[in-house]
Amino acid sequence: MDYKEHIARAVKYIEENLTGEIDLAACAKACGYSEYHFLRVFKEVARLTPADYIRKRRLSEIAKRICETGEAVSEIAFRYGFNSKENFTRAFKAEHHILPTEYKAAQNSLKLYEPLSFETKLFSVTPEIVTLPGFSLTVYRSDEDYPPNFWNKYNARKLSLRLSGGTPCLDFGVSIWNAAENRLDYFIGIATEEAKGDLSGTQELTIPGGLYAVFQTPVTTHADFVNTIHRTWEYINEVWFRQSSYERKCGPEFECYQEQSRAFTERIYIPVARKAKTENWRKKS
């Protein structure tokens, strides 16, 4: 059974009451469900409990308003249901791994949660296939399991300027599969030739030259930048590689952009090779 139409009514109720009281019994009633059935179905559809969804939506709207208005952070948080500065600070840090004060100062891009939507939106990106020379990066190793949280720290704490000695430059996020530990290692930093500042706590990574598929994420807004990056990666992994004449090669995959440019687009580089021509191989064999 498709529950989406029913859950959409609950989402509408939640969105209309983000700055007021949200009663889960009223959410269930909007769907025509018992409260028990509503809780189960909402989590199945949204992959979040209603309480988690409401918290993420409120934190997302607060983050937007911190950038858009000159209001005090505590006043905005209070309007969205946080009854104390301490409660809000704790919730914000748990979600984004930086303090609200760090975010207000840097206004870096965060992973925000937009209202749950069940509309199917077409998305595609056409890559360039280019040959790159090898180069070196000076990077910090991520201490987070979720890369966006490490980007939050990196940007809010202005680590790029610390590395460069104060000169704005391109920042690189690099993913490397760690076969020994069966995990993805992630690093953020700048080109070694531009690393002329404080390099403590960094290491040097070599990015091998070769053939790369380069994807430019669509230009978007501050609020939707991280979500657009995620949609681009999903398209690459779930659509483009299945349909293209290229396959992934082992090696570092990286993304780069300049946070201070406020352009809200980035380039994603993936090492590739042409797929073997299976049909020709079968004819010969």
Digit-coded pLDDT (tens) for 160-189: 999 999 999 999 999 999 989 898 999 999
Least confident span in 67-71, 243-247, 253-257 = 67-71
The predicted structure's pLDDT at residue 203: 97
Alpha helices by DSSP H, listed for 168-248, are 225-235, 241-243
Amino acid present at 236: I
Q: What percent of the chain has pLDDT over 90?
A: 72
Rounded to whole angstroms, the Cα distance separating 217 from 187 reads 20
More confident call, 281 vs 43: 43
Complete domains list, the chain, with CATH? 4-106 (1.10.10.60), 128-274 (3.20.80.10)
The residue whose two tokens read 């469900």 is 33
pLDDT-derived band of residue 118, with 50, 70 and 90 as boundaries? confident
Whether the per-residue pLDDT at 258 is higher than 90: the answer is: no
Q: How far is CA 159 from CA 90, 186, 236, 244, 268, in A?
A: 23, 16, 29, 37, 21
Whether the per-residue pLDDT at 279 is higher than 50: the answer is: no
Strand partners, 20: none
The predicted structure's pLDDT at residue 31: 87
Rounded to whole angstroms, the Cα distance separating 96 from 56 reads 10
Rounded to whole angstroms, the Cα distance separating 69 from 136 reads 40
Rounded to whole angstroms, the Cα distance separating 167 from 192 reads 13
Q: What percent of the chain has pLDDT over 70?
A: 96
Whether the per-residue pLDDT at 281 is higher than 70: the answer is: no
To the nearest 5 percent, what fractions of the chain are helix, strand and coil? 45, 20, 35
Q: What is the DSSP letter of 19?
A: T
Least confident span in 15-24, 157-166, 199-208 = 15-24
State the pTM of this model. 0.88
Rounded to whole angstroms, the Cα distance separating 243 from 125 reads 13
| 78: helix, strand or coil | helix
